[in-house]
Chain A
């Protein structure tokens, strides 16, 4: 089974600073990779996904992520943090489990705080 490691359970950045949230995965085959965002007391919202097309994936709200096979990484970045980016972010990988079925495996999440 796949596994996902998110480095840093809490990350703080100043407003206007670069946001970098790290995600590494284990995989023996090219994976499908996702970033989700969750605002307080809300559900999951898809930020972006990698499905073996372009390695640099652009998502909503100015976020992007780069798939690096050699590093088994899929880090999430945003050039300039905004107060509204404060949320919890989850990296996930889609894993084939047989019988045509896939499972989505999540990292433990990174809570992003933005300091004014």
Chain B
């Protein structure tokens, strides 16, 4: 595919524990995004990054933080996981222009 991988693919964690999801790209793209997908809601933007150490909040950022210390990695952290954060998380990258989005395969997170 286009050089974007997410890890882990599946994770089960307990309420109250911190969790970090990783998005790794080999395309050297500037822009990276984290979305969550829930039935009836489509995909909603959590956070995005427009460069190393440059991030901003999306529509549903409460309870999440992100970090981008190098171009290729964008980390999403659930500081204290709750059952409402059970979801499928997708990372996306975008190259030059407004139309070149590529999505990762997703991480299915279950908080019990």
Contacts and interface: CB of A to CB of B under 8 A. Distances in A.
Q: Mostly helix, strand, loop or mixed at chain A's interface? A: strand
B31 A102 contact: yes
Contacts of B98: 32, 51, 94, 96, 102
A40 interface: no
Contacts of B43: 44, 90, 92, 106
B40 A90 contact: no
B48 A9 contact: no
Given A43-B105, A44-B103, A105 B31 contact: no
A103 B90 contact: no
A100 interface: yes
B92 A104 contact: yes
Nearest to B43: A106
Interface in A88-111: 90, 92, 94, 96-97, 99-109
Interface string B25-62: 00000010101000011111100101000001010000
B94 interface: yes
Contact of A99 (B40, B50, B99): B50
A43 B99 contact: no
A109 B42 contact: yes
A82 interface: no
Interface in A66-98: 90, 92, 94, 96-97
B106 A51 contact: no
